[in-house]
Amino acid sequence: MAELQFREAIRAAMVEEMRRDESVFLMGEEVAEYDGAYKVSQGMLEEFGFRRVIDTPISELGFSGIGVGAAMNGLRPIVEFMTFNFAVVGIDQIINNAAKLRYMSGGQIMIPIVFRGPNASAGQLGATHSVAYEALYGHIPGLKVVYPSEPGDAKGLLKTAIRDDNPVIFLESEQMYGLKGEVSDEEDFTIPFGVAKVKREGNDVTIVAHGKMYHVAQQAAKELAKDGIEAEIVDPRTIKPFDMKTVIESVKKTNRCVIVDETHPFCGIAAEVGFQLQRDAFDYLDAPIQRVTVPDVPAPFAKNLFDLWLPGPKQVIEAVNAVTYRS
């Protein structure tokens, strides 16, 4: 075990997999000579050279397509987007080609590709640079979606993603790159997709939170504990496949659920999880499921408005109070 930053954990996963498998390579804007916009790929050019760590032009549609073509031909590309807000430019390659070619070729073509990069908001970046995309990609059959919240999970899940024969959307956060955590240094340490983790145990309410919002949930749980409310926090870690079983088991114990989700509410992650919960755990619910999301409005730029827009521990506590009939 070593304590690594989130960015170091991701780098470790990529380096280990590139050493292990020659067909793995990294491409993206500024990943090589500049060591990555967020220093994720620092030192990789030195180790693997220009052939396997490739700087691309500012042309997401173009290099996404190159990635998909490379994957079709047997390579295992890791395509880094400077942020997933820029991936929108290349989304035709992701949704129409990467996600569908295996299906449309009757299983003849594999697309072992990872699209990775920071997701969602990161302070005052304005409306077009602050979108959380896990719900959008989760909506598309053929894509797997991962959004880890801690360095340890990030390394294990990214290694699984690189080894997967299907396109994987691997979401990170600018604000979490510096976050430190215990990371396994075992060479073959991988975390399977579709396995959630109960990261805090409690009997009073289940909080489902992934990615950056997981940390908001932890802060809220600390505050709630002062009031004697013990929250159980489930981090699904992968959005698709989603481990509903763990969530349902937890709700059977607590009878209440708050879903914290940085995507917009309509057709968001919380909408889907809430639906499945009411269908499959109906008899265990003692209160309507609540969710905490950003509102159905683009991110504002102004600081005061942005702070209102992004959910924090306060909103989570309010939702917990509602489901525990304390408000």
Minimum distance, C-beta of residue 309 to another protein, in the bound complex (Å)? 11
Q: How far apart are CA 263 and CA 285, in angstroms?
A: 24
Which of 29, 129, 232, 264 is the catalytic position?
129
**Which C-beta is closer to another protein: that of 29 or that of 204?**
204
Q: For 59, which DSSP code? A: -
Which of 8, 60, 134, 262 is the catalytic position?
60
Helix axes 269-280, 244-254, angle to 10 degrees: 60
Minimum distance, C-beta of residue 102 to another protein, in the bound complex (Å)? 18
Minimum distance, C-beta of residue 47 to another protein, in the bound complex (Å)? 45
Look at strands 114-118 and 257-260 and give their pairing: unpaired
Closest CA to 240 of 143, 151, 152: 143
**Which C-beta is closer to another protein: that of 110 or that of 322?**
322
**Which C-beta is closer to another protein: that of 105 or that of 278?**
278
Q: Which residues contact 191 (CB under 8 A, 6 or more apart)?
A: 153, 156, 157, 160, 237
60 assigned to active site: yes
Contact 296, 263 (CB under 8 A): no
**Which C-beta is closer to another protein: that of 2 or that of 104?**
104
- Site of interaction with another protein (CB under 8 A): 255, 264-266, 271, 278-280, 282-287, 291, 293, 295-297, 325
Q: How far apart are CA 7 and CA 239, in angstroms?
A: 21
User: Which residues are the active-site residues?
Assistant: 60, 129
